[in-house]
């Protein structure tokens, strides 16, 4: 049995500020939940949906040595890797081409025609 929750804290953040792991301390032990998985553990009370991002802060209120309330202040809408759908849409609406958008999110990318018959499958 895990028992009651004694503490919850952000264990470590990555260079972008996103949570790499969250530490849960219970009567049954100490547990580290990796960044993206914690989104399924810390669900939104209104609808039970997962957290939208691993970019968040915690405010923990305790009573009698146990967690009474956790407030999560979040930012973002995903895992922080790859193309931001809202950002790409904004760039498209401002007239940027698909090539400009892809090169913005994936620096150094080569855009070409895929030829499965080519040696090594290079684009």
Are 47 and 22 members of one domain?
Answer: yes
Predicted pLDDT of residue 77:
62
Predicted pLDDT of residue 106:
84
Domains identified in the chain, total number: 2
Report the run of H or E that residue 99 belongs to, with start and end: helix 98-105
Q: Is pLDDT of 122 > 60?
A: no
Predicted pLDDT of residue 63:
97
Are 41 and 92 members of one domain?
Answer: no
Are 58 and 86 members of one domain?
Answer: no
Are 20 and 64 members of one domain?
Answer: yes
pTM over 0.75: no
Backbone φ, ψ for residue 93 (5° rounding): -65, -25
Are 39 and 97 members of one domain?
Answer: no
Range of the domain at 103: 81-110
119 found inside a domain: no
Task: Decide which of 10 and 123 is more confident.
Answer: 10
């Amino acid at each position: 049995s895990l028992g009651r929750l004694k503490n919850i804290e952000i264990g470590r953040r990555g260079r972008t500020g996103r949570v790499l792991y969250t530490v849960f301390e219970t009567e049954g032990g100490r547990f580290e939940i990796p960044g993206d998985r914690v989104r399924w553990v810390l669900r939104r009370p209104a609808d039970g949906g997962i957290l939208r991002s691993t970019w968040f802060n915690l405010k923990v209120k305790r009573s009698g040595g146990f967690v009474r309330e956790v407030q999560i202040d979040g930012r973002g809408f995903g895992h922080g890797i790859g193309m931001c759908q809202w950002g790409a849409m904004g760039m498209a609406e401002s007239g940027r081409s698909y090539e400009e958008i892809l090169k913005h999110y994936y620096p150094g990318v080569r855009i070409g025609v895929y030829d499965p018959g080519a040696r090594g499958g290079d684009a």
